[in-house]
Amino acid sequence: MDKKSVETSVKNEELIRKRRDQMVKAAVKLFTEKGFHRTTTREIAKASGFSIGTLYEYIRSKDDVLYLVCDDIYRQVNTRIKEKIDVKGDGLACLKDAIATYIKIVDEMRSEMLVMYQEAKSLSKESLPYVLNKELEMAGVFEDILGLCVQSGQIGLAEPEVRFFAQHIIVQCQMWTFRRWALRGYTLEEFTQMQINAIMGGLTSINKAELSV
């Protein structure tokens, strides 16, 4: 899936990155507080520190801003996971590290995660497929780790089950953001350890013959 090209009248690539980074940071704060539809481009421009005219030199619509927000979030998450996780060696140890790493990222990017999942549905038909594909790329990291566990005989999963559990792990980790109100009695460390125990305990107890269709 090709990345969407957001039109700009500016030629300086460094300046484009700088201004769009300002926009993304401002938009995340506004979208978290007001939602995508109630936020105006004028408000985004003001929060970014420049005029509405300047804003439209770097984007063409509010959809462009939301697209840039989602793309930036996925870029950060995917980059940080791949930097921290080395998919080789002991599969279960790798999985444990990946779960802990992803939960830490979720904790540090709570506002961004909320915006991404609450507002991505507002993207245009042209923008949404690319963003959804980035979500699958993120799940692909966990698929690779689960595949390593299968190859080493540590867990027994068929290919469809690997895809399913990769998504399951992502959702369980993101609970720290989406169910934060119900988890206030737990520290990040406690939540992380309980998720590791629950996810890995479940996976290692699975009988492939029972799950396979």
The whole-model pTM stands at: 0.84
What's the rounded Cα separation, in Å, for the pair 39 and 26?
A: 11
Q: How much is the average pLDDT of 181-192?
A: 94
CATH of the domain at 204: 1.10.357.10
Q: What is the pLDDT of residues 131-149, one digit of tens each?
A: 888 888 889 999 999 999 9
Q: How much is the average pLDDT of 78-89?
A: 82
Compute, in degrees rounded to 10, the torsion defined by CA atoms 46, 48, 52, 56: -160
Six-digit token string for 207: 């009988």
* pLDDT for the residue numbered 209: 44
Residue 8 lies in a domain: no
Query: Mean pLDDT over all residues of the chain?
Result: 89
Residue 55 lies in a domain: no
Please count the structural domains in the chain: 1
Residue 40 lies in a domain: no
User: Taking a C-beta distance cutoff of 8 angstroms, is the pair 124, 107 a contact?
Assistant: no
Q: Does residue 64 carry a pLDDT above 80?
A: yes
User: Taking a C-beta distance cutoff of 8 angstroms, is the pair 138, 74 a contact?
Assistant: yes
